[in-house]
Structure 1
């Protein structure tokens, strides 16, 4: 594998970085990896590397770039506060906002074949929006997407096969809202784990190794089915 940073250009001319990991040999397709509220940090880079190790071209766009560049936060209280602030700044952008940056990442990734998208926390919400609005996707996987089960978000209609992972102990996303989302979207496969928010991240206290392993296995099987 080889990893490097590149610069992508959105439709409005905005330039922003992305972390790219090339797999060994010919890619079987591509996976766009969407960050949490902590930036394209060491964890998200390791996630991208993990998908490249499975044979995919992995592209992790820096989705905070319209608010602040070079964000790589940890998981302390102050990091959380900074991440919440940056997320709010990006969410406040006029439409299409950060979705045009995600579109640019998907368009770039398409050189490797079919493109899937996976995201965590805020990235999970962005995956849900992308599944309905971004062109060129073949599959979408959302991990504990904060906000996707409430308000007007469940009204979106994904245009590609989609699965969603949630934790039963997640204090940010109620099981009731997950159940309601599942009922409203029979086309989306919803998985619930006995785990907390952020269970996939081995740098967080909420990391749950069994849940992370099972969710990754399901995600890889899903991508193999729809991407290659």
Structure 2
């Protein structure tokens, strides 16, 4: 079952929308799904639906709600791609992380257990948010796909105390090899962190729809993510 829900901010001064997909039976845990720069679009909702089919309660908060609530963009349309960049630039990242924390709390509330396990998975902009969820929230596990800008927050890596899986594309034209080398240098020594580089693919390879997707690489990455969450949230 899927529905739109409202989540209260941590400061109790507002509410923001989120897509929520629930499994047919009792959820074994919850996962917060963090959008790309294109909003909670059909691809992100499909990610939630897949997680629900795997037995998780999946919640995708609208992190652009303060600027433009309900935006759904198609990355294959150049004008909409640029619109997404503009929305990201207007988004307060610190508030976005706090909204993810609010979504984590809301997930535990829906599961009826204040100590229920909740993971975070994010893509692109959401990959950066997922990394920061690992440093700033009490998420039980986090996965980031091709998170741009992670290298600007490596100073926070000391706070990573729970499992974190990062997927990168070997041919990523937004996150070059030098940047990935800096990320490896900062994180490879942390026993909680696993970094996987996927050969021959570019940024966005695991999107559900559109020209950026590479089926083989997406399936390999998603299988690894599924095993990661099964281990750490199961």
Pair in the same fold by TM > 0.5: yes
- Distance apart, 1:184 and its partner CA: 1.3
Tell me whether 1:63 sits opposite 2:69 in the alignment.
no
Aligned equivalent of 1:21: 21
2:66 alignment partner, SS class? coil
Determine the structure 1 residue equivalent to 2:174. Answer: 172
- TM-score, normalized by length of structure 2? 0.91
Paired residues of 1:198 and 1:204 also in contact (CA < 8 A): no
**Structure (1 or 2) with the greater helix fraction:** 2
Give the alignment's TM-score, normalised by structure 1. Answer: 0.93
Residue matched to 2:196: 191
Q: Does 1:125 align with 2:123?
A: no
The RMSD of aligned alpha carbons is: 1.2
Aligned to 2:228: 222
Question: What SS class does the counterpart of residue 59 from structure 2 fall into?
Answer: strand
Q: Deviations over 1:1-40 (max 9, x none)?
A: x000000011222210000001011111001000000000
Equivalent position SS for 1:18: strand
CA distance in 2, matches of 1:8, 1:168: 36
Question: Which aligned runs of 4 or more in structure 1 are off by greater than 3 angstroms?
Answer: none
- The whole-number CA distance in structure 2 between the counterparts of 1:25 and 1:203 is 28
Match in the other structure for 2:9: 10
- 5+ unaligned residues in a row in structure 1: which ranges? none
Deviation at 1:129, TM superposition (A): 0.9
| Contact 2:47/2:208 (<8 A) preserved | no
- Three-state SS of the structure 2 residue aligned to 1:190 is strand
Distance 1:208 1:54 in 2: 22
